[in-house]
Structure 1
């Protein structure tokens, strides 16, 4: 494997740093310029953050563990960015917009370069999505990041349980790009076109407002298309009939692999038939992908071209 050298492994001599120095020097003002517009009245520095909003809050938490969710040889900059993006995807899938995020970090690393690289990743994430770091925790242990993102719905929260018979089943983009990028990253951790979908996955925040306007149900499919489709089916107590020819698949991956692999941060959602024409017009006007890949059916089964799907797999954390 051709791994990209890590800055914190190259540094000599190693300069050790304490927990409080890390917070003050590297994590105290990341994305602070976005606090006011996001209704964050108090960020890093007190016992808690303070959010001032009249809407209901959406809260998403996601944990990324070394050698479970990411390769240990990846530069901490990309581990930080990727961990935040994963949590953000859930806010987006519920028709929300992010307000701020917190980071709980466990590591045995005391080298300043490690924290500098982590901070670069958080800053990159904050700048791209317009939200700031508003708190967290640091402790000693196996390297892992737990990211909590706080958001609010654009109009209303879109749940998994809202699909109804006859709704159009839609997806926001291609399946399989995440797996292809993960395999490329296993060969080389350098950030480039072939690894970007894994190291710096893009979360399409513009879908949050559109889902809030048109969708009856939605789910993030990062654990695998078929597995998450099953979750949507169970929550809505309804089945789906997929049209294989309309499902967008990335080049270079088999259909069966694409529908079962994880790491695709697309959104699977349903739109009532009464709204689909208006949705198509607005999605097209905004130059956003809207792939209609099937429809909801009443018998609670998952079908592919009218034939029942018997094998459903996806990413599992245990």
Structure 2
């Protein structure tokens, strides 16, 4: 598995992050086999959140991987906090309480990465800074990041937070590529020119923040997958054409498209299907040409000016 440096940290992580949001859909023996398959593939970076299965997913993962000190040093654990029932909460009290719960469920003394999940408009950066300082000094969290945040929101945090932001988890796929499209359509009068995220792609590249695309196969907001979907005939035809050339699956090409971008992204793969996981991991071996990348982009209905 090819690796990248996470943000400007010293962490060398696999280019594929294994998302564990759906691990509670697996029976115990299948969960154990899935996690072992991921490890065998070199996909040892696991993404969690305290809200996944109301914490159950972290517990199931811990049992599935048979967590102990030896295993812990061979994997990367990332989790997220900040979403509560009916609200978002970046208060110091909630962050600290959430991390303690996460560590207990994962049966570990520390997280490699903690992300703040979904922006909290009531955030007080000073409180976040106090929470991060406490977590860092206690050794409970080694690196920090955010999820679904735009540049100004990150800058607001940095007003008080001294820790480097190493990652930003954002929705991105071939069909949900506005953060790419608006960069092509500067000063144009069309929908693709609408800047919905404050140029977050360029901001993350300028500040060495690793983008972690979530839902890399989805179109819309969890409306469905585009692969094999009759709504996207031209896109699927193009992806299949490229897949045949490289002798891989369409799944592999969809992830390779993200990895081709020089931003050094780390897609979060949410599948619990071992075959699809293998296909995703194969993407680290495929380097699309510029012509292939743009061809897939245009086939999704994205128009170049």
TM-score (norm 2): 0.25
The structure with more strand, counted as a fraction of residues: 1
TM-score (norm 1): 0.24
Larger-Rg structure: 1
Work out which structure has the larger RCO, using CA pairs closer than 8 Å and 6 or more positions apart in sequence: 1
